[in-house]
Amino acid sequence: MDFYCPTLRLAIELDGAVHEAPMAEARDEIRTRFLNEQGITVMRFKNEVVWRNPEVIVEEIVRFGEEWKRRMRGTGPPHP
């Protein structure tokens, strides 16, 4: 994973051309499934989006964080 936020249990993957190969896609899918089983959400973004439209990524992460806060209200502190 390229970035990880332990508070949100959010992994961010930035995928370049190497991730488009069939073997890489299969590995990514296995890793994503494993992370999901650990309670970690994985967000994937293509490198083109990073370079051309980074605000879209920021908006999605902020939206995820806001939803996380809504879910956590009244449930006590998040797990470390």
Listed by start position, the domains of the chain span 3-72
CB environment 14-23: b (16+ within 10 A), e (fewer): bbeeeeeeee
Q: How many helices (H) and strands (E) does the chain have?
A: 3, 3
Using CA atoms, how far apart are residues 77 and 28, in angstroms rounded to an integer?
A: 31
**Does the reported pTM lie above 0.85?**
no
Between strands 10-15 and 41-46, the pairing is parallel
Question: Tens of pLDDT along the chain (80 residues)?
Answer: 899 999 999 999 998 656 566 677 888 899 999 999 999 999 999 888 888 999 999 999 999 999 999 888 866 555 55
